[in-house]
Structure 1
Amino acid sequence: MDRRGFLIGTAMAAAWAGSGPVRAVAASRPGWAPYADTFAMDACGGLGREGRKPDSPYTDLELGDLRDSGLSALQLTVAPVGRYANALEDTVEYISRWNEEVARRPEYLLLARNGADFDRAQRERKTALVYGFQDTTPIGEDPDRIATFHRLGVRSVQLTYNLRNLVGDGCLEPADAGLSRYGRKIIEALNEQRIAVDLSHSGRRTALDAFAASKSPALVSHSGCAALAALPRNKTDEELRAMAQRGGVVGIYLMPFLRVKGQPMAADLIAHLEHAVNVCGEDHVGIGSDGTVSAVQLTAEYKREHRKVIAERRALGISAPGEADDVYLILPDLNHPRRLETLAGLLSARGHSDARIAKLLGGNFKRALTEIWG
């Protein structure tokens, strides 16, 4: 089962000083010479080409896309989101399937359990997989499960999805009631187990409460900047500053929410990255695509499935403003596996230093997660 399968099952499942206006990307893909030796990480992504059969082993083509991407690390979602009857059982099954995949293809993959595994992946030209949740649904009412999930390899837990759960309010809850007492217990348990606390999809008060409550840096693996697109999935400058002050990192996604309306492009991603750098500082910004490594083929079948997903998410009440039938979950001019290298070339052309680009492409997440995990 891939991340889209879980979504289907549960929902359905200042600009940098002196750099000038962001322009559309040319048809050619600009490169960036240091990329081959750079630690690159997607803090929220997945594998697989469109049309793959759920639960089937990944093909040489799909893993070839991963190798071609140059990613040293990729965070996967290994749990369902929302109100889900068999969350615990299905999460354990999903983790088991990924463990089998890692064991089957050791020339491509390894499991990240500590910071040293990041170094090993980069050295061996493999991709370290980070197991993460996008909801606390599998934990339910039993914080003791957190220790079990840590033993199973889970290293990041997002507190809420779009709606309210036992931990706190998601970004679509109008009351914005913040973190619950139980939520504070969950954060304590995650800190004790050295699992990263993730505030993507959270309500604003939930995020601010959690940033203050967590004893280790809390992250936002995939989001955007509300100052540029005032949509619930995006973080306000207040949230971004609170996160950065505690050592966290925000991953900017390649999603429709980079714009209030219409199909976003690489220029929109760059605008959000540069705004986040201005607000947080260059040590607290990264990439969390919320998409697949492989390119998306905009076939008629894909478009039909996309419309079905959006309709079912709306029916379940978890569709966020900004989701639309005709706005796809890609940036068309970065729709290829090597997108981070292309992004790096665009940032370099705008005057960003190689050191800053390396931080944005993965260095910042590597630093924060190594601090959290040890």
Structure 2
Amino acid sequence: MLSRRTFIAASTALAAHPGVASERHSYTTKDYERAMVIDALGAVSDPEPDAAIETEPSARLLKDLRESGLTAVSVTLSVGSTGDRMAKAIRRIATLNEKIAAAPDLLMRIRTAADLTRAKDTRRLGLIYNVQDTSLLENDLSRVTTLRAMGLRVMQMTYNTRNLVGDGCLERADSGLSNLGRELVAELGRTRVVMDLSHSGRATIAEAIREARMPPVISHTGCRDLHDHPRNVYDTELRALAAKGGVAGIYFMPFLVPRGNASKDDLIRHIEHAVNVCGEDHVGLGTDGNVSATLIDDGYRKYLREEYESRVAQGIAAPGEGPEVHQFILDYNHPRRFFTLAQDLAARGWPARRIDKLLGGNFARVYAEVWG
């Protein structure tokens, strides 16, 4: 038999755990329509392979964006360190601006927290511009101001390998930030650009969090204490991120599991672990995937194989990638994936208040603190 003290302790633990359904909850369409829903790292690529002009969204893409119920998606201007990345980022800004101009009733740019509210109120999808590497800066930090003036609002310090500011997650040395990297941390704080530590090495993450003037984010990652993968983040750094007011976005990627494709159960396991480590105010979602569903056909299989081979050749492929490994969760391979996830979490006992924070409320708070 349980002692009274043991019973109380066990009951408290059950009530505190976000995945234990001590009472039945639901998450309705009205709840979802009310929530601020943000994908902290995603894409709005056109699903139609024969879309003639990239800057003119196809009817299918417009339908998917409406169906998603998303308030905002952080889209990437540039990633990696090959080629003229600054020029690529500027061209990408022009392309996205034209896409917004072609569908002003559905798309808008996000520059401030007020823009997020406006996107929500007008039922439009806001696009937040990010870069997933700082190689485009070279050693000229004045480019941060230039890019910010053009709409950039989130800057990821490194990709998988080393650059001038620090080590990425695949570097064996894990040497942390360079002197330039420390200067960049200060510059991002001064210019009020969100610092993203996704893909960074452990030492880079720890040092950048310590030196951050504003709450940083790790927009798309998993929990390394659950699965020891270099793209995931240890509990120690997750706690430090939360202590600085930041948010970790859990991704819909295969790196949640040792091998093969991740399932929705794997995703939820990482989400709930992160909430237990960081607290419910410091976890969100960053799918690292497209809003539209991926059609799994011969064309997709050919693309997946070629993309994997290209990443291997560039030296940026991470463990767990492969020619047959999907970069998304099959269970949520549809535009309304966030709502389906919310319902799955409600069935596990999550109250609507906690779900709202996960879906985008937490990232919206950080964006408001940094951007103003």
TM-score > 0.5 by shorter chain: yes
Q: Give 4+ residue runs of structure 1 displaced > 4 Å after superposition.
A: 30-33
Q: CA RMSD in A?
A: 1.6
Match of 2:124 in 1: 126
Task: Measure, in 2, the Cα distance between the counterparts of 1:31 and 1:346.
Answer: 11
1:20 Cα offset (Å) = 5.1
1:228 Cα offset (Å) = 1.3
Matched letter for residue 350 of structure 2? H
2:49 counterpart of 1:51? yes
Question: Is contact 1:134-1:158 (8 Å) kept?
Answer: yes
2:49 counterpart of 1:39? no
Question: Is contact 2:55-2:95 (8 Å) kept?
Answer: no
Q: 1:288 aligns with which of 261, 286, 292?
A: 286
Within a 5 Å distance, the mapping from 1:173-252 to structure 2 comes to 173-252=171-250
Counterpart of 2:219 in 1: which secondary structure?
strand
Match of 2:17 in 1: 17
Question: Is contact 2:119-2:125 (8 Å) kept?
Answer: yes
Distance 1:153 1:18, change over 3 A: closer
List gaps (5 residues or longer) in structure 1.
Answer: 1-13, 22-29
Matched letter for residue 131 of structure 1? Y
Question: Is contact 1:115-1:373 (8 Å) kept?
Answer: yes
Match of 1:172 in 2: 170
Question: Is contact 1:256-1:264 (8 Å) kept?
Answer: yes
Q: 1:104 aligns with which of 91, 96, 102?
A: 102
Task: Measure, in 1, the Cα distance between the counterparts of 2:132 and 2:77.
Answer: 8
Matched letter for residue 103 of structure 2? R
Matched letter for residue 78 of structure 1? L
Q: 1:88 aligns with which of 86, 89, 110?
A: 86
Question: Is contact 2:19-2:272 (8 Å) kept?
Answer: no
How many residue pairs match? The answer is 352
Task: Measure, in 2, the Cα distance between the counterparts of 1:136 and 1:125.
Answer: 33
Task: Measure, in 2, the Cα distance between the counterparts of 1:320 and 1:132.
Answer: 21
TM-score by length of 1: 0.91
1:51 Cα offset (Å) = 2.3
1:90 Cα offset (Å) = 1.4
Task: Measure, in 2, the Cα distance between the counterparts of 1:370 and 1:280.
Answer: 20
Distance 1:173 1:248, change over 3 A: same
Task: Measure, in 2, the Cα distance between the counterparts of 1:316 and 1:121.
Answer: 38
Match of 1:302 in 2: 300
Between 1:55-64 and 1:86-95, the stretch displaced more is 55-64
Counterpart of 2:305 in 1: which secondary structure?
helix
Question: Is contact 2:164-2:181 (8 Å) kept?
Answer: yes
Matched letter for residue 38 of structure 1? A
1:170 Cα offset (Å) = 0.1
Question: Is contact 1:131-1:155 (8 Å) kept?
Answer: yes
Q: 1:261 aligns with which of 259, 276, 300?
A: 259
Q: Which string of whole-angstrom CA distances, capped at 9 and with x for unpartnered residues, describes residues 311-355 of structure 1?
A: 111111100011122211111111100000000000000001100
Task: Measure, in 2, the Cα distance between the counterparts of 1:134 and 1:68.
Answer: 27
Distance 1:307 1:244, change over 3 A: same
Distance 1:361 1:52, change over 3 A: farther
Larger radius of gyration: 2
Task: Measure, in 2, the Cα distance between the counterparts of 1:92 and 1:309.
Answer: 23
TM-score by length of 2: 0.92
2:149 counterpart of 1:151? yes
Question: Is contact 2:80-2:132 (8 Å) kept?
Answer: no
